[in-house]
Structure 1
């Protein structure tokens, strides 16, 4: 049995109740086969893959807090510190009812390679809780965040583990967590990213994941002889990533015509009105029905259906496994030429293979949405230097990072005879740097 198969079998036996984590490990290791086979004896002796697929440590803790009615509520908090061979653990905190240890492990494992691809010195980690901030008052969110950080603060630090935002964790939540960390530890340090501009945040961080996704898409299309200008773009999601992906797509001359939330989706043939979308989602925190009510050209549909719209480019920006095989078939039938992932693993393995087999350009999230964590690392640099860079400086660095990622994953795929397979290219390029660092540091 090959080394890859041995490790996959061991991981599946050990983590049988964690489907998202198993999916991520399977996808990565399968695409790394040519690299592993070329170095099999060395990697097996050093148990490199066993060490790579087993987190350095995992924390699970109780988070009690008091709601506005005086009732004590209890949630579960998690932090998985996966791999710090190239820098401090770095990865967001997800607040969503679906959060469990398997999802956090999948996200942390993906983060290792994503962070490596940025070229910046950051390792992989992830955390969060099954707390749902939707419908909660500011005071309730603060009570939860303070309780969550009271436990989490024991395990993090500016040179140890630097969490950030993710689904459900925006500027409000980061602010409450940062205040509690400072209060307990008595230290003012860059322990969280995604902070407000008045206390160490970075300009362009809010826009970074969405903007970075479009810089990647722009470079991908350019290197395949076409341009994003004039392209019809389907986008899923209506959160931070989707909003700023839509905004940047319009700035680059593209025409985004869809977005979605947990209850339904919008098709706006005239192009999404970004100002209205921001008002509905960022100011009012309302449903997309309000967008449709205020915009005569928009059509609102319940449930799923974003990928049924005819488009040139698809940008899944919502959540894991949202684009399935039937969606992939619709995209191919409608002539879609490129799919770039704005969310983490939003495309199922089956759908990914179908898209690739049908010559759709496909860039996975660990490469396409790395702009967010890259800008978080730039925020860490500014904190360390006690400096603030201009929006233009950060945006220029972000664009340079995303363009470099595209060429690195393209080159890695070509080196192993898989030209155009950007899933393999991303995994290989991310893995090589981490593997070299792990081997150089001995058994640890």
Structure 2
């Protein structure tokens, strides 16, 4: 399916139709109430229910209903809450007078002090399980700390969901899909926080047409979980738009003779129709943008202080990977083998005729201590710089080098 701006705007308008300013729903036909220590049946704040009773409350409010989670104190949740029956239901943190406010939920993951840390054994529970029956779910205004996964959509085929204004601290995975997922039309808006050791957002399986908007994803240099990525595309997932926000500080510490991974935004060979716009990616031990996908565009993005600011494998079909108005600033080597570059490109090897093809328009490259700004590893790489400013590069830095004579740089 082709993923156009018109599609995205229509989907965004539809998902916002049930929301008012501040992320709270319009008046729902039915409301259930949840509060810390609640032991009632959820018919009012005075008779509020426990958060463990969410599945039953979802059933009681029905389609168009609201489950209001009181933003006072905190909810300690060590097990998984199943939201798979939450079709056309809104679950939102709020005050007693129903204004939007973050409800705080704490899980079982080992506590983190905020510094660089080996998080391999931090563990943690899955907070929400979201199956195919959750189509139309809106999940909003939550502050989640110390969980293994925020929302597990393994194998889910849910459609038309909105996850909005969800803050996190110290998680393994955030929004999770696997190779059997086919989640479509998901809007993730304002999913932001610090501290993740695996993937903040996984766009996997046959999932399609997601909008990731203004999400600020800082791994906080949690390492040892093989390995952190801010936004990861995999399998044949297609139709992703990332608009605004940033990914930061994904770190992979290994022996110095090994390659250190850790990317801001990454895609694989089977992914396509990927657009990233007005986004920043910085502080990673590998790629700011590590892209193997086809039909891929970066627009007005900034990649800064990563080992390889742009790490491009795709564009081997008829359409090159396109960078429009993108900036590359001071690539930084944090360890492991391999050199730092503003852009690294993969060429064809052996019987594999796939090689990176990139058009970089109105770009800007500046800073860094590496010897080579743009490096092509392998045959048949084609990178074309159009109105791209390289005047900020150190005089000692070569603009382009390749391991094969068939790879080339064009300017004009």
User: Structure 2-normalised TM-score?
Assistant: 0.26
Q: Which has the higher contact order (CA 8 A, sep 6+)?
A: 1
Larger Rg: 2
Higher strand share: 2
TM-score of the pair, normalised by structure 1: 0.25
